[in-house]
Amino acid sequence: MPIYNYRCLDCGLSHEIRHGFHETYDGVCDACEGVVRKYFGDVYIAASATPTRGMHDGKTIDWSGTKTKEREKERDMAAYKRLRSEGIQPKSINGSAKMEREALTSHEIKAGTLLQGPKSEKKRKERALNDVLGSG
């Protein structure tokens, strides 16, 4: 059961009262017998009322997968910031690290699409892009 703080409206004395979530307290102040009201500040919940850290809906949480995704987000954000500082606007933050690593031209980064195919085909596509869009 949670512990609630109640405060006297007359003398300001605080009282810690334990009761259920849906219950109320109709008592009076111990010091002056004044009216007490719930003080919304600190609500304490017993540790037994919270789920364990390793469980979610009865299933074990895959912390390694979560950490991997967090590292990917950090790499993408860092790459995004580097590309922006170079004057290149990536299509999205997600995947910016891969685009920075594998893109041959700034046009690929701006479009968010890498040129596909064998290296000779990529060079041909790159030349065609540069002809149409300018050097990149």
> Taking the chain (136 residues) in consecutive chunks of 10 residues, what is each chunk's mean pLDDT?
86 88 86 88 63 59 75 91 88 86 79 72 73 68
pTM for this prediction:
0.45
- Residue 64: count of CB within 10 angstroms of its CB: 8
Q: Which two tokens stand for residue 107?
A: 């046009």
Tell me the domain boundaries of the chain.
3-48, 67-122
Distance CA 113, CA 44 (A): 51
Distance CA 75, CA 38 (A): 47
pLDDT reported for residue 81: 92
pLDDT reported for residue 48: 63
CA angle, 130 then 92 then 129, to 5°: 10
pLDDT reported for residue 100: 85
pLDDT reported for residue 129: 73
pLDDT reported for residue 59: 64
Tokens 């041959």 -> residue: 104
